[in-house]
Amino acid sequence: MGHTTSQIWRILRSIDEAREFVTSRSVRNYLGNLRFWIFTVVLLLLATTSAPAQQTTQSRLERAEKEPQNWLTYYGNYNGWSYSQLNQINRGNVKQLAPVWTFAAGVPPPVTTLRVGLEAAPLVVDGLLYLVGPQNNVYAIEAATGKSVWTYIYRWPDRAVSGVKGARGLAYGDGLIYMGTQDNHLVGLDAETGKEVWNIEVKNNSECGCSLNSPPLFVRGKIIAGSSGGGGKNTGYLNAFDAKTGSRVWHFDVVPPPGQPGNDTWAGDTWRTGSGSAWYTGTYDPELNVIYWGTGDPFPVWRGDQRPGANLYTASLLAIDADTGKLKWYFQETPHDLYDYDSAMEPVLLDLDVNGQKQKLILHPSKNGFAYVYDRITGKFIRGFPYGSPNWAKGLDANGRAIDAISPADQKDFLICPNMGTGARNINHSAYSPRTGLWYTTDNELCSYLKSGLSPAPQDALNPNAPPNISAFDPTSGKKQWTFKTKYFNESSLLATAGDLIFGGDLDGNVFALDARTGQMLWSFSAGTPIAAPPVTFSINGRQYVAVSAGGGSNSEGRLPNLYPQEKNRLLQPASTLFVFSLR
């Protein structure tokens, strides 16, 4: 079927090319009708032949590396690697990369305060590319041509929506496309038609200030989604929903209410407004049937005196049973967080040799500037290393606890690193390449200036001793292998490929490719608008493509004018366009 379908896609492109040269309206209409019926047949064939595949979505996702032509999940696989085995585009020919099509994804509705930009990573499933726009519209597009197949228009409420922070992507499973929305709904769409199958309100946005910004995770017939926002109105949570109906299967409170383990780490009723959003997409180990998810900071931010205790399970990495939602283990990376150092970042699952033995590990970066390595079966801390330049602590001890952590409220005329807000990293995820054995990550190198404790509020500042950068690390030792300096702090995620390339983008509007082994820049393209999204790669009919959403949209971009005043008059404007590249 794959060969037959490929031939049909080529026929469709031939018809499109023919229509461009035909002047007769009747012939053009005939070709247009012919194309419509052939494309309808393609969809029917895909529906017929993919029925078994839909029934085994779980096995497809578990073996995503067997389908490098697709990009089936937010990170490309359950491990959180953001890695592709495609190698047609490589270090030797990447300079020949050029745009082949673009797609404009529109702007947000006026009821939001959201920036215009496009943050979302697309999915690619069996020849179709799925993209969510900044207004939660979803688009199905022919992945090889950029032609629209269907559009789903999301119905926004008439009232103002609070706490919106962008739309970062989608999930796929059992023939549906799943989207979390900025007004805190979860939606299931028919992947072939775009028809809404179900739409549920997880929690009232006007009451909780919470939303679903990051892509949900499809696991064994369930959709796992974590909350964003809150900030005193809400406590964080993680939910599992039946993927076919949207009915809730289980619920996990990041901040445990009375009667649950961990509530005693909150004084009095402070747990009620404890925040701890589970705002970034987690990862999954099918063999253990365990979901790994990071959590955000406690509320009030910075004011530990108003919430005595360790404040579980904020700023933590959680291991949760995928069937029941029960906590198997946790590790709190910044107990009683005084710095807004979320641990919400992606847990990267690695099977590596440690002292001659293969171990199931997690590498987990925190906003606090340290990367933590755990045994993912037991949660035992194995090692940690700085991927940035943290000075809020002198390091990590043998148990993974901060050594001599400072109290920001007691500091005067002090530059604390990383920044008490963006952290060493924020919305942008890392990449791991099994070919090189290296982990690639961004380091913001932003700090906060404390003039006199927390009053006035900490001010953003550049680290005078280190520029923002992208670096490669050996995860077994924590040793840095190379560093690539960036002009501004980076908001784009990274993509690693078997062509030994690292793709990314920057807030100066450049999409770029680095040599995965040396960090040397090999190619760049100016998109003319900031990049704050994850690149992905896929192939159609043996031709490899790289797709990058452009336009920015991240909250941190608002820091640029103050941090780089000399650049204020030339900073790029937001937009909302997907760029797709291939070799000339």
* 297 part of the active site: no
In this structure, the strands spanning 171-173 and 176-180 are antiparallel
- Region label for 220, one of left (φ > 0), alpha (ψ between -120 and 50) or beta (otherwise): left
Let me know: does 262 contact 256? Beta carbons within 8 Å: yes
Q: Which two tokens stand for residue 307?
A: 């919430």
Any bridge partners for residue 150, and if so which?
140
**Cα angle: 528, vertex 536, 163; to 5 degrees:** 70
Distance set, CA 152 to CA 149, 170, 354, 380, 396 (Å): 10, 13, 48, 45, 48
Question: Catalytic residue among 285, 340, 500, 508, which?
Answer: 340
Buried b (16+ CB within 10 A) or exposed e, 497-522: bbbbbbbbbbbbbbbbbbbbbebeeb
Class of residue 496 by CB neighbours under 10 A (exposed 0-12, middle 13-18, buried 19+): buried
For the record, the structure tokens of 96 come out as 């020949």
The answer to whether the Cα torsion of 175, 177, 180, 181 is positive or negative is negative
Q: Are strands 480-485 and 128-132 parallel, antiparallel or unpaired?
A: unpaired
Closest CA to 555 of 53, 77, 90, 113: 113
φ and ψ at residue 569, rounded to 5 degrees:
-85, 0
Tell me the helices (H) and strands (E) count for the chain, helix number first: 5, 38
CA distances from 447 to 126, 263, 393, 462, 483 (A): 44, 32, 14, 6, 19
How is residue 166 written in tokens? 């962008």
Of 86, 169, 99, nearest to 129 (Cα)?
A: 169
| Residues 178/172, Cβ–Cβ less than 8 Å | yes
The total number of residues shown for the chain amounts to 584
- Distance, in Å, from the CA atom of 267 to the CA atom of 270, rounded to the nearest integer, reads 6
What token pair was written down for 332? 């709190």
Q: Coil, helix or strand for 205?
A: helix
User: In this structure, which amino acid lies at residue 511?
Assistant: V
Per-residue three-class SS string for 311-370? CCCCCEEEEEECCCCCEEEEEECCCCCCCCCCCCCCCEEEEEEECCEEEEEEEEECCCCE
Closest CA to 425 of 355, 357, 364: 364
CA-based nearest residue to 87, from 464, 456, 496, 396: 496
* Residues that are catalytic: 340
